[in-house]
Structure 1
Amino acid sequence: MKVNSDLFEGIFPVRLEGKNADGEEYSYRAFSVREVLDSLSGDMLVEFISRDGGGAAVSGEEILTGQVYLAEDGDAYRLILPKDRHRRRWCKHIIEIIQEEGDS
């Protein structure tokens, strides 16, 4: 699915605040990915694709916890995982979300 402002219609945003890996503070208006995706199961893999072709993958199980967000970042969206202890999983300028069925 394509990521644009229409995707978040009717979803109430939350305010995320914290520190980046370099220690700088951040504050984002964000949307829970769990609320954005129509059908999601714990064994799915969800990939977030950026404008430059890069990406990041997150398990359906993790998204179902409610701790995976898409945040407004200027004119684009960024993946935010507040509980990612090492802050190694990130993706900005997201243009597409791809859901893949897991092995059953």
Structure 2
Amino acid sequence: RIEVVNILSSSSDQIDENLKTALQEDLTKMAPGLFVQAVRVTKPKIPESIRQNYEQMEAEKTKLLVATQHQRVVEKEAETERKKAVIEAEKAAQVAAIHYEQHI
């Protein structure tokens, strides 16, 4: 089964060859001795409304992917800042402990 997206983006030569192979396999079982010489599939003409819907859907998927990646970056940056703050606090506590020990 080939989906519309694959038909639109695939090379017609690949589709032709795959179809020829599948047909030949079936033909060999059903009518031995017959051979498929060539297969030619023309590219379908997609109605404008379907093409526009497809392009809009792809654009929305891209926007969602970008938003998701941005969210991950923001989360990583926040995590990095939290780790920096913890390290700085630990460092300040150690310095304070050293100063306290020196005064005793």
Could you state the TM-score of these two structures normalised by the residue count of structure 2?
Answer: 0.17
Q: Which has the higher helix share?
A: 2
Structure number with larger C-alpha Rg: 2
Query: Which of the pair is proportionally richer in strand?
Result: 1
Query: What TM-score comes out, normalization by structure 1 length?
Result: 0.17
